[in-house]
């Protein structure tokens, strides 16, 4: 890993200083390396901002024994920072639709969860452009999200010790999103090719040569 | 919508200039409004950068009749810009795992798709931190992505005219990601509460009062 990157993380308060061994040298242990890999995973792979990564790292220190606080910090990290207009009637209709979905399915979520508003943001933005399909497919999106989340939470609980679980909450939230997001885009390609057909690119007969 | 925002989009080349009606006035028509809503949906709700939104808007103009070019522009817009180290043996192992998955499932994707590398990024970043669960669950992630993508592509094809389809490719890619992402976080809350239980917050008996 490039030294300037490490220095940058130190300056930004993402990484604690090492044990000084000389005027311009410091010793970094196993814990430091692990923290460094965590930060890179969040920023480089998860696309999380430096500020958000700092919050996640702080939460890992402060709430190491509180899964819900940690979940909330990880969730905030993967949430975009801009806020669209929420004072329109269309937005309130969209939000009601989300609350109805939650009630119908009996989802146990905090009624003030910011994610409820984020779902409404996407529905309302689509609605303002005539994309009513997001409303129509809301249940299908919820089905996919629910079945994936059930696996992910079960996977966290399968870890034997609490500290290891906490780390998977953070990494699973961020890396799982990156993983799913890229797989969805690949699946779009496949489904487009399958449902429309690609005249200029016949299906690979021999996928081994595809690298 | 605030005037400075509109001026900013004009300066950034996201929005074409209106028809000048006086020295400091211009007329904006239906097309402009629609473009404005599209840009806001991409940036504010989708979390897309201004630079990426400019590319999507350009692609909508240049490739209005080419669904695959447009899909590629929309996919690039939702892809994080940083690039982790891809020269490690662990990364190549991760990439091979993705190529195997694609071959096993017969997915029709371009072998050089950047999304293949993004999946490998997430797997390798997890692997470097001992998160082997992402490998274990790769098939489940792929199942969820595939079933969602099948619905999304079908929804695009259900639109009657090509221009309307093209717009849904872009908006569905970006807004669908925002929608799914927020629903997944809500589903994590629900599954955590269901599988662990939340001692301080008993299940709502009456979801109607939850607003």
Interval B145-178: pLDDT, tens: 999 999 999 999 998 887 788 778 888 888 899 8
Q: How high is the pLDDT of residue A152? A: 95
Give the one of A80, A116, A151 whose C-beta lies nearest to B140's C-beta.
A151
Q: Which of B79, B32, B88 is nearest to B177 (CA)?
A: B79
Q: How far is B83 from chain A (nearest CA, A)?
A: 6
Q: Where are the alpha helices (DSSP H) in A129-161?
A: 133-136, 138-157
Residue B20 pairs with which residues in a beta bridge? Answer: B26
Torsion sign across C-alpha atoms A151, A152, A156, A157: negative
Q: Which residue has the higher pLDDT, B167 or B133?
A: B133
Q: How high is the pLDDT of residue B82? A: 62
Q: Does A127 touch chain B (CB under 8 A)?
A: no
Least reliable range by pLDDT among B10-14, B26-30, B81-85, B99-103: B81-85
Phi, psi of B26 (to 5 degrees): -145, 155
Domain boundaries, chain A: 82-195
Q: Which chain B residues are within 8 Å of A115, Cβ to Cβ?
A: 182-183, 185-186, 189
Contact A171 B129 (CB under 8 A): yes
ipTM over 0.85: no
Q: How high is the pLDDT of residue A82? A: 62
Confidence tier at B207 by pLDDT (50, 70, 90):
very low
Q: How high is the pLDDT of residue B129? A: 83
Give the one of B99, B140, B196 whose C-beta lies nearest to A210's C-beta.
B99
Q: Which of A179, A138, A182 is nearest to A155 (CA)?
A: A179
- The counts of H helices and E strands in chain B are 9, 2
Contact A126 B171 (CB under 8 A): yes
Q: How far is A58 from chain B (nearest CA, A)?
A: 18
CA distances (Å), origin A200, targets A193, A195, A204, B25, B68: 11, 15, 12, 48, 11
A·B CB contacts under 8 A: 332
In chain B, the DSSP E strands lie at 19-22, 25-27
Give the one of A80, A123, A188 whose C-beta lies nearest to B149's C-beta.
A188
Interface of A with B in 4-33 (CB under 8 A): none
**Count of residues for chain B?**
211
Residue B26 pairs with which residues in a beta bridge? Answer: B20
Compute the average pLDDT of residues B167-192. 89
Compute the average pLDDT of residues B131-151. 95
Count other Cβ atoms within 10 Å, centred on residue B68. 17
Q: How far is B20 from chain A (nearest CA, A)?
A: 26
**If you measure CA to CA, which chain A residue comes closest to B98?**
A183
Tokens of B189: 């809350």
pLDDT mean across residues, chain B: 83
Contact A187 B121 (CB under 8 A): no
Coil, strand or helix: which one is A159? coil
pLDDT digits (tens, 9 = 90+) for A178-191: 899 999 999 999 99
Q: How far is B63 from chain A (nearest CA, A)?
A: 16
pLDDT below 50 — which residues of chain A? 201-203, 205, 207-211
Q: How high is the pLDDT of residue B44? A: 78
CA distance A59 to A39: 13
Q: Which of B183, B209, B188 is nearest to B198 (CA)?
A: B188
Q: How high is the pLDDT of residue A98? A: 97
Instruction: For an interface test with A, give the residue of B66, B107, B124 to mutate (most A CBs within 10 A).
Output: B107
Compute the average pLDDT of residues B106-131. 90
Compute the average pLDDT of residues B86-94. 92
Crossing angle of helices A162-195 and A67-77, rounded to 10° = 40
Q: Which residue has the higher pLDDT, A100 or B54?
A: A100
Give the one of A123, A141, A187 whose C-beta lies nearest to B146's C-beta.
A187
Q: Does A142 touch chain B (CB under 8 A)?
A: yes
Count other Cβ atoms within 10 Å, centred on residue A168. 24
Q: Does A206 touch chain B (CB under 8 A)?
A: no
């Amino acid at each position: 890993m490039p030294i300037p990157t490490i220095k940058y993380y130190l300056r930004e308060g993402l990484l604690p200083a090492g044990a000084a061994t000389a005027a311009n040298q410091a010793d970094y242990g196993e814990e430091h390396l692990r923290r460094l890999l965590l930060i890179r995973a969040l920023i480089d792979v998860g696309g999380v901002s430096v500020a958000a990564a700092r919050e996640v790292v702080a939460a890992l220190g402060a709430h190491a024994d509180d899964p819900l606080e940690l979940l909330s910090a990880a969730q905030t990290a993967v949430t975009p920072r801009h806020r669209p207009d929420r004072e329109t009637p269309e937005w309130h209709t969209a939000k009601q639709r989300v609350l109805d979905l939650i009630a119908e399915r009996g989802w146990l979520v905090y009624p003030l969860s910011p994610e409820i508003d984020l779902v409404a943001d996407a529905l309302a933005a689509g609605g303002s452009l005539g994309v009513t399909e997001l409303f129509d497919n809301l249940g299908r999106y919820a089905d996919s999200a629910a079945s994936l989340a059930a696996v992910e939470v079960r996977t966290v609980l399968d870890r034997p010790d609490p500290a290891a679980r906490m780390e998977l909450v953070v990494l699973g939230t961020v890396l799982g999103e990156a993983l799913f997001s890229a797989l969805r885009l690949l699946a779009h390609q496949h489904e487009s090719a399958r449902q429309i057909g690609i005249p200029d690119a016949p299906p690979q007969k021999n996928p081994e040569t595809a690298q």
